[in-house]
Structure 1
Amino acid sequence: MRVLIRADASPSIGSGHIARCLTLARVLRGQGAHVAFACRLLIGHRLHALEAEGFETFSLPDFYPGEDPQQSIESLLPWQADIEALEQALADRPGFDWIIVDHYGLDHHWQTAARRLAPRIMAVDDLATRTYSVDLLLNQNLSGTQAAYEGLLPEHCRTLLGPRYALLRDEFRCGAIEIKPKVRRVLVNFGGFDAAMQTHHAMLALADYPELEVDFVAGADNPAWARMQRMAASRPHWRLHSFVSHFHRLMLEADLFIGAGGGTSWERAAMGLPTICIAVSNNQQANSEVMATFGAHVYLGPKEDVTMEQLRQAIGFLVGNQGLRQSLAQRSLQLVDGLGASRVAVAMAGALLQVRPATQADTHLLFEGRNADAVRRVSLDRSPVDWDRHCQWLQGSLVNPQRLLLVGDASDGPVGVLRYDLQGSEALVSIYLFENRLGLGWGRALLAHGEAFATVHWPQLSRFTAQVLPANQASLDLFRQAGFSQGTCVFTRVLKDHPHE
């Protein structure tokens, strides 16, 4: 699978778009995909860092004719100029299977035109305020709901919504931090650029708490860098960092975080790190408010509405309030499990999943898969299958014209097994995934591709049915999401516009 990511970074845009796409890119590459980035040569563009990680990169112009250099990050770019620049950069390069666009300035016009470069388009979004022309849409925020996108997406578009799909690096799956009786150590970070100078604002608020040990991660390009250096130099318990490669370790050591409402929100949530949040851009406000309503952090509001005194009081309130910090930690830990990037990668790879008829060469694969504990626990027949019986069953299945046995293959190996048993114009379907594929969303892709295969193999099919144990919540959810209607532990999917129905 070949994937192109279109995202930018600059002091006004911030570095969050590149950071979260980089997390996804690493997972995709780990699954065997080739991933490239196309970025404008803006100040702070991050292309060199991407190249250092071994990703192919394409540079685009820093300015387009007719563009206002002072425009906000949510203003639209001249999309025709961006597409033309992208086409020139990609000239004579192999095509891509997916383009991921993570950019507030590129709308449905750009997304439609980008189909000249790839058949599938995915958008990473936080706004839900525009029309989208994409096949897959990711919004990892609590504010990203189906209702928010009503009327904005094409009918065929699949949505990945909420923090279940939060793009977190593996190191943030390290478990919860200890909530101590009193805050001793604070970590402050407002993104890679902090054009709003909120780190300096936090310094002024923390000046009244000399007993606290504080790490400020600000970036040397921070507009208030010189002032912060002077303040930090006179306080032995303060450390000012321009760059850190161990940010997650600083988070593990902290008792309280002060920062913005961007992608770091989910890193903090995954670690149960109590947080005072200030939104530094409009696109952070909705999710910050919903997270506060959920009880996952203390949200003071957008930066222009937060005074130094309000921040100082919030710090003082949390420093000695262990009960509140425990509550914030418990609520935030309920939101994310750290597998979001893998789920998004599976949704993309699932579009390219291949299903094929099983053969005798799959004997060991199917035997091990069917006998796995996780599979047997939710099977109608939970008893282990012995080798001889399995071989007889497989041999009979392969020559049975009323049975279709399929294996799903991804680029990095087999995913799972489907069995269809024909009963007149209906087919009873059963499915299981291999143990290393559980919980990531492969079942939905496997069912979709299997259905397409089965309807071609048996043109007379009018419906599919499936039997699911009441306690098998994963399968119950899977068949509902796949369009099956539920009876009493029996799911049915009627094929539309079928002449035999």
Structure 2
Amino acid sequence: MNILFRADASLAIGSGHVMRCLTLAHVLATAGAKVSFACRALPGNALDLIADQGFVVHALPAVYPGEVAEVDIEAALDWQADIDALRAVLSAQAQFDWVVVDHYGLDAHWQQAARQYAQCIAVVDDLANRGHAADLLLDQNLSALHADYTRLLPNHARALLGPRYALLRPAYRGGATMVSPVARRVVVSFGGVDAGGETFKAMDALADLPDLEVDFVAGAANPAWAGLVQKAEGKPQWRLHRHVADFASLMRQADLFVGAGGGTSWERAALGLPTLCIAVAPNQVANAEHMAAAGAQLYLGEAGQVTVAGLREAIRLLAGNHGLRRSLSQRSGQLVDGLGAQRVAAALLAQGLRLRPATQDDARLLHEGRNAESVRRWSLQTAPIPWDRHLAWLAASLLNPDRRLLVAEASDGPVGVLRYDHTGAGRAEVSIYLLVGREGLGWARAMLQRGDQHIKQYWPDLLAIDAIVRPDNLASLGLFRQAGYVQADCHFVRHLEADPTSC
């Protein structure tokens, strides 16, 4: 698959949009996708960073006709000028399977125009404040609701909402870290730019707390670096970092965190790191409030409302209260499992998912897949299947005209198995399982969608598909509901209609 990301970083915008796109890009590239970026060469851009991570990056102009020299984080761009700039850097034959746009200034007009380059459009959003002409939307915030996007998305579009889809790097998996009874170490980070100078405020607050060791992560694009260095002089318990290669390890060593309400919120949550959050942009407020209401962090308010004295007292309170830090760690760690990027990647890669008939050469794959504990646990027959019995079953299945056995494959290999049994009177029964390592990422939904399309062509007389699910298999119950099956007890029926156009 060929995927283009459109995102910007600058002194005003910050680096969060590009950083979360890079996280997703690495997962897609590992799965075999060809990934490239298009970004404006604004002051504080991330063009070199993207290139250093191995991706092709197309530089768009810093200033478009009629535009001021700097671009505000939420300012609407001249979408036609942006499309024209994109056309100028792409080859005339450029075509992508997906264009992924992470930019508050680009809306449905740009997305519709971008279809000249891609079959499908995906949007990363946090604001729910503008219309989209997209096939897939991601809002990873805890505050995201389907009702927020109902009137902003086409009917066919799929919305991935909530921290289940938080775009986190692999370093943030593994669960919450242990909460020390005594807080000794603090990490302070307000993003790659910190245009508002909140790091200075944190320094002033921590200057009167000499018992705490502090790591200040200022970010490579921070324009006030010299001032920060000067303020840290004479404080041996302070460490000032311009770039941290392994931010996750630094965070795992900390007892509490002081920082902004952007994408780092989910990194902290995945590690269960007790946090004092300050919103440095309006789009961070709703999510910060929801996380605080869920008991996952302490939210101090928007940056302009937080004083040095107030921040100092909040740090002193959290550092001195082991029970509170432990509660925040437990609650935040429950929100995120670290697999969000894999789930979003699966939703994109599902467009290229293909089904093929199983063959005798798949015997070992099918046997190991069916006998995996994660599959047997939810099967109607939970006992392991012996090899000789499996071979006999497979041989009979391949010869049975009323059975269709299919292997689902993505660009990086097999995903799962579908079986359809024609039961007569225009009906068939479906059975599905995922291979080890593919569970919980959303592949099953894509398999059922492709299976519907395939089986209607293979058996044109088919009117409905049945599915039998164990009553305690909540994941499968939810899967079939989402796939359009109608439930009666543990029996599902999918009435087949004309194929919808979707990505």
TM-score, normalised to structure 1, is: 0.97
CA deviation map 1:43-102 (0-9, x unaligned): 121111211221111111111012234553111111101111111211145421111000
Structure 1 match to 2:304: 304
Shift of 1:223: 4.0
Structure 2 match to 1:469: 470
Q: Are 1:272 and 2:272 matched, yes or no?
A: yes
Where do residues 292-331 of structure 1 align in structure 2 (5 Å cutoff)?
A: 292-331=292-331
Q: 1:358, 1:177 → 2: CA distance?
A: 44
Where do residues 203-222 of structure 1 align in structure 2 (5 Å cutoff)?
A: 203-219=203-219, 221-222=221-222
Shift of 1:497: 6.8
Structure 1 match to 2:431: 430
Q: 1:166, 1:185 → 2: CA distance?
A: 26
Shift of 1:220: 5.4
Confirm or deny: 8 A CA contact 1:197 1:223 kept in the other structure. no
Shift of 1:225: 2.7
Structure 1 match to 2:84: 84
Q: 1:372, 1:248 → 2: CA distance?
A: 32
CA deviation map 1:392-447 (0-9, x unaligned): 22222222222111111111111111111112211110001111211111100111
Q: Percent identity among equivalent residues?
A: 58
CA deviation map 1:370-403 (0-9, x unaligned): 1222111111112222223222222222222221
Structure 2 match to 1:452: 453
Confirm or deny: 8 A CA contact 2:164 2:339 kept in the other structure. yes
Q: 1:373 to 1:191 in 2, by over 3 A?
A: same
Query: 2:128 is paired with a residue of what secondary structure?
Result: coil
CA deviation map 1:461-493 (0-9, x unaligned): 221110011122221121111111211111111
Q: 1:86, 1:493 → 2: CA distance?
A: 43
Moved more, 256-265 or 417-426: 417-426
Q: 1:389, 1:420 → 2: CA distance?
A: 20
Confirm or deny: 8 A CA contact 2:12 2:71 kept in the other structure. no
Q: 2:217, 2:93 → 1: CA distance?
A: 39
Q: Are 1:61 and 2:49 matched, yes or no?
A: no
Structure 2 match to 1:195: 195
Query: 2:431 is paired with a residue of what secondary structure?
Result: strand
Q: 1:262, 1:220 → 2: CA distance?
A: 17
Structure 2 match to 1:285: 285
Q: 1:397, 1:177 → 2: CA distance?
A: 49
Shift of 1:7: 0.5
Confirm or deny: 8 A CA contact 1:200 1:224 kept in the other structure. no
Amino acid at match of 1:439: G
TM-score, normalised to structure 2, is: 0.96
Query: 1:97 is paired with a residue of what secondary structure?
Result: strand
CA deviation map 1:220-244 (0-9, x unaligned): 5434333322221121111111112
CA deviation map 1:263-317 (0-9, x unaligned): 0000000000000000101111111111011011000111111122211111111
Confirm or deny: 8 A CA contact 2:480 2:492 kept in the other structure. yes
Moved more, 217-226 or 292-301: 217-226
Shift of 1:250: 1.3
Query: 1:436 is paired with a residue of what secondary structure?
Result: coil
Structure 2 match to 1:156: 156
Confirm or deny: 8 A CA contact 1:140 1:165 kept in the other structure. yes
Number of paired residues?
Answer: 498
Confirm or deny: 8 A CA contact 1:376 1:382 kept in the other structure. yes
Structure 1 match to 2:239: 239
Where do residues 18-417 of structure 1 align in structure 2 (5 Å cutoff)?
A: 18-92=18-92, 94-219=94-219, 221-417=221-417
Q: 2:460, 2:309 → 1: CA distance?
A: 71
Q: 1:139, 1:179 → 2: CA distance?
A: 30
Query: 1:435 is paired with a residue of what secondary structure?
Result: coil
Query: 1:265 is paired with a residue of what secondary structure?
Result: helix
Shift of 1:6: 0.5
Q: 1:221, 1:387 → 2: CA distance?
A: 59
Amino acid at match of 1:288: A
Structure 1 match to 2:16: 16
Moved more, 298-307 or 86-95: 86-95
Q: Which runs of 5+ in 2 are unaligned?
A: none
Structure 1 match to 2:479: 478
Q: 1:4, 1:360 → 2: CA distance?
A: 38
Amino acid at match of 1:477: G
Q: 1:34, 1:324 → 2: CA distance?
A: 45
Confirm or deny: 8 A CA contact 1:354 1:449 kept in the other structure. yes
